[in-house]
Amino acid sequence: MPPLSRLRPEHPAPRGLRVVIVGPDELPAVEAEAGRLRDRLARSGHQATLRLAPRSEWGVGRFHPDGGPADLAIVLGGDGSILRTARWMGYEQVPVVGFNLGTLGFLADFSITEVETVLEDVASGAFRLVDHLMFETEVIRDGVPILRELGLNETSLLAGPPFSMIELCLFVDGDIATTYRCDGLIVSTPVGSTAYNLSAGGPIVRKDLDAFVFTPLSPHTLTNRTVVDAAGRVYELLVPAPNEGSACVVDGRVVTGLMTADRVRVRRATPRFTLVETRNHGYYRTLRDKLHWGGGIDKTAGRAARGGGGS
């Protein structure tokens, strides 16, 4: 539970909450929806600040409104918008509600048609605050840290042009664990396990767990498989001989090219990313809806399996 927020689950939300409404202004529906949300919040006695900007400008300047930190961030868009918002908030995270204007959305879990229901649940205290692991990625060159990035989904080391395999040596708390020969490696949080990690064949890890997932891309050795380990350890990747186009990518952003003997350190960050979940939305419902986990069972059979009856 972030110390900056006055939101408390199972209790009515106090009047006068500071709310920041965030969205990419390239999407046609964002401006109109943001205006409606601001008006709705104002009628309920809350103060809403709009942060609508092109995606390329997110993360520039201070996120929280003047006069004090926000209590809640409402994000319009998709999972990419939420990732950028988490980065924009930096080390002053507050709870997030995501309304999906895209096509998938694991983090932006609510449909825009659910705005009224979600706001009513938040106002009445019928919600949960679920904390998620964030990480810091540090690139060390010639023994000197050259950058540090805060992330939510994953750090990826990619072989890049000329698209030959590279070696990556993984150290855990200073001890060598393994050497990968591969096209790259994804170091994912549980939140990121349904993103690039899932596309690469990695496992889905419950998003409120504290763990890192290591998924190699096209490993040369068949025994190199995904590994899940505790988030309390310090992980370091040595890149002995990168390709000309090898790069370190954090949450989909190329943060630096890689040079010979670079070390990339990944560890748990102090801030936690917090999502608001309501009584009608939970982890497995999201997976069922987004991944179409129907299994061929129709709704009637599903109700019977849960002990339910007719209509």
Domain boundaries, the chain: 18-125, 135-268
Per-residue pLDDT at 295 = 61
Per-residue pLDDT at 3 = 41
pLDDT tens digits for 24-44? 999 888 999 999 999 999 999
Q: Which of 79, 121, 183, 262 is catalytic?
A: 79
Q: What strands, in cross-sheet order, belong to the sheet with 144-151?
A: 144-151, 135-141, 262-268, 235-239, 166-172, 175-182
Residue 103 structure tokens: 């096509």
Enumerate residue ranges in the chain where pLDDT < 70: 1-5, 103-104, 295-311
pLDDT tens digits for 177-200? 999 999 999 999 999 999 999 999
Domain 135-268, architecture per CATH: Sandwich (2.60)
Per-residue pLDDT at 68 = 80
Per-residue pLDDT at 305 = 42
Is 79 designated active site?
A: yes
pTM for the full predicted model: 0.88
Phi, psi for 304 (deg, rounded to 5): -65, -40
Per-residue pLDDT at 2 = 42
Question: CATH homologous superfamily of domain 18-125?
Answer: Probable inorganic polyphosphate/atp-NAD kinase; domain 1 (3.40.50.10330)
